[in-house]
Structure 1
Amino acid sequence: MPELLFPLDSAKKFTDQAIVGHNRWHPDIPAAVTVKPGDSFRVHCREWFDGAIHNDDSADDILNAPLTTVHTLSGPFAVEGAKPGDLLIVDILDIGPIPQEDSGPLAGQGWGYTGIFPRNNGGGFLTEQFPDAYKAVWDFSGQTATSRHIPHVSFTGIVHPGLMGTAPSAALLAKWNAREGALIATDPNRVPPLALPPEPRDAVLGTLTGDEYTRVAGEAARTAPPRENGGNQDIKNLTKGSRIFYPVFVDGANLSVGDLHFSQGDGEITFCGAIEMGGFIDLRVDIIKGGMDTYGVSENAIFMPGNTDPQYSEWLAFSGTSVTLDGEQKYLDSHLSYQRACLHAIEYLTKFGYAPEQAYLLLGAAPIEGRLSGVVDIPNSCSTVYLPTAIFDFPLAPSSSGPFQIDPGIGAPRSENKV
């Protein structure tokens, strides 16, 4: 096992650990650990809400999830010799739930969760159709996930980090804040908001204190979106065996990682659409000097996915086009066409006995494939959602005998409270 450089005690909060991580992006957050090119090391990661979501049959915790506290990131890890303009090579050697603990109060201890966030607290990809808070808890058995809230489904997890990236430079941070602030200004009262501006409340900034903490907390970027540094990309194929190349913007690169997922469908469509968990990740790092200019990788990460994904050979695919639910034609809107494909899949699954919310949660957590199938045939973009049929314990394809009727069980808990 690689040396554990960032330990987390499951009995303590994220801010009470021996080494404290962070939940914002800023170049002046000090490195927590320094490593050398070629080093391999283990990192513990806390589930993104630090234990605020519980293994129960209530969705009140999703309704009131403390969004200002996320993401709980492990790091930063400074890499000796890394300079702006380099590429940081990150190999994912291994990854899994919280080790040596198979039950307990934290997601990752034998269980994880998926949530539909309410419109007034984050929302999601289909927030207009699903404005309320719901939750599904998943149990882990080895590599397999099942849920009492979405019965008749079982699948192999595609375990991956939802979030990993390097620190921004001061100039890049200022660019983020300016462009996202300009977007917010176009509709400042929108619910959910168009973007998340810097928020000093609940900022965790490693070892910073006093005036320096106050300054950085007021400038630091939220970790919710993906950006030039990688960040919260939620790419389900960043599995064991993946190699990622990150741009370096500050001395040492200052790599951070967190938001581990047991499984996820393309798009993580409910916002908390993956199966969230805490756990461990083993990494190896190296540097390509001057790699950003050499390879033209200046504002994006590139990666070589691992080869440990579950292999499915049979799918049922649903298509969607860029026409709104009320019939308005949009021009090559692939975001809209993917929404429509997801809604078509959800409607189909309800014919077998699932509630719409169960189907929505399933599309976020299960290893679905989302594809841009046509982006040039004006005016309609075409997107598709591929559902692996093997994850269901009943026949999913249409037949002359009609849809098999399942027992939907207790269903997905819904919060009856208001934000």
Structure 2
Amino acid sequence: MPTYTLHATPSTVHLGGFSSTLPPALRVQSGDVVQVETYSGFAHYGKAPDRFFTPEFIEICKTLPAERRVGPGPHLLTGPIYVEGAEPGDVLEVRLQAITPRLPIGFNAIRPGWGALPGEFDQPRLRFIDLDLEQGVAEFPPGSGIRVPIQPFFGILGVATDETSRNSVPPGAYGGNIDNRQLQAGSRVFLPVFLPGALFSVGDGHAAQGDGEIDVTAIETSMNGTLQLILRKDLHFQAPMAETPTDFITLGFAEDLDTAFELALKRMIDFLHKFVGIEREEAYVLCSIAVNFHITQVVNSPMKGVHGLLPKGILPQPALL
């Protein structure tokens, strides 16, 4: 199968959201592998240490065309990638083969009016955090001896819908700003397709994040990834789901956590019924005694996220997706 490299350039990235009108940055066949570059921190150009901005990133910041500024969000995404043969109703499987920070530095930003405690922490703060890529840790606060493991993942994995300008901040049925720290290398993400070609984009690299993403950012950094894109006409999901080496994951997004949890739970019951073969009431009971539900994030206004994790180790035989 072919392997492509998609460099991040002013003609292959887009800022702030998703759009049905963006021309593809790359066209691939189902099963092709893409080595992709992403950058994070577009809004902080001129405020960051020199080592945070490569010459290529500076060129993007200075020359990004107006037509590639498609929404009000802060995220710089690479894509879209057009998958030949993808049609609405299909599912795009994204295999995350490798995810690696591009730079030994990231940032965390508190934004007024955002975060889990906007009334208490209401002043803007921008911090740059060194990444020890050799040891795989970030010390924070500096000099504290607290060593946070580097566990890189992409916060945004999503497809376009029929909207010409969709904000990159809230996640939804299209994926987007999922911000799920479980989706590290070795995972698979399944996204419903809404438009011909799927128009998949990726970005928002995170070196480390806790469940909840409390202050509205993780350790945000530029990231390289190796992704395999597979068209699945045998699956028909109404919302994203995922699989890691240890768990199956269902996702729920809503404006309040109760509804987000209910959606994640119902989708887990549906998964257990369809792919594991147990009755819905038994699936409900199994969710109570064996499935772990976590808060994904509470800051991607207006949508909050909850995900359920079904441990693969409890199943007598693998569920096949």
* Partner deviation per Cα, 1:132-164 (whole Å, 9 max, x = no partner): 122332211122111354723102112100001
Task: Give the one of 263, 270, 273 matched to 2:208.
Answer: 263
2:165 paired with 1:237: no
1:46–1:333 Cα change, 3 Å = closer
Question: For the Cα contact (< 8 Å) 1:163–1:258, is it kept in 2?
Answer: yes
Question: For the Cα contact (< 8 Å) 2:13–2:77, is it kept in 1?
Answer: no
Q: Distance in 2 between matches of 1:51 and 1:133?
A: 13
Q: Distance in 2 between matches of 1:139 and 1:233?
A: 25
Task: Give the one of 121, 125, 129 matched to 2:120.
Answer: 129
Partner of 2:241: 302
Structure 2: 5+ residue stretches without partners: 51-70, 247-255, 260-291, 296-305, 307-321
Partner of 2:33: 40
Q: Distance in 1 between matches of 2:208 and 2:227?
A: 19
1:284–1:84 Cα change, 3 Å = same
The CA deviation at 1:370 is 8.5
Q: Distance in 2 between matches of 1:290 and 1:275?
A: 37
* Partner deviation per Cα, 1:171-216 (whole Å, 9 max, x = no partner): xx3xxxxxxxxxxxxxxxxxxxxxxxxxxxxxxxxxxxxxxxxxx4
The CA deviation at 1:305 is 2.2
Q: Distance in 1 between matches of 2:128 and 2:212?
A: 19
Question: For the Cα contact (< 8 Å) 1:163–1:257, is it kept in 2?
Answer: yes
1:149–1:127 Cα change, 3 Å = farther
Q: Distance in 1 between matches of 2:99 and 2:257?
A: 36
Partner of 1:179: none
Q: Distance in 1 between matches of 2:31 and 2:293?
A: 35
Considering fraction of residues, name the structure with more strand.
2
1:279–1:232 Cα change, 3 Å = same
1:86–1:43 Cα change, 3 Å = same
2:158 paired with 1:165: yes
Task: Give the one of 268, 278, 282 matched to 2:222.
Answer: 278
Partner of 2:106: 112
* Matched AA of 2:112: P
SS in 1 for 2:18: coil
1:148-297 to structure 2, matched below 5 A, reads 148-149=141-142, 151-168=144-161, 170=162, 173=163, 216=164, 220-272=165-217, 274-289=218-233, 291-292=235-236, 297=237
Partner of 2:301: none
SS in 1 for 2:126: strand
Q: Distance in 1 between matches of 2:38 and 2:83?
A: 19
Task: Give the one of 62, 67, 79 matched to 1:75.
Answer: 79
Counting matched residue pairs gives 232
Percent identity over paired residues: 29
TM-score, with structure 2 as normaliser: 0.65
* Matched AA of 2:195: V
Question: For the Cα contact (< 8 Å) 1:240–1:306, is it kept in 2?
Answer: no
* Partner deviation per Cα, 1:82-126 (whole Å, 9 max, x = no partner): 11111111000001111xxxxxxxxxx21111121122xxx2111
Bigger radius of gyration, 1 or 2?
A: 1
Question: For the Cα contact (< 8 Å) 2:4–2:33, is it kept in 1?
Answer: no
SS in 1 for 2:92: strand
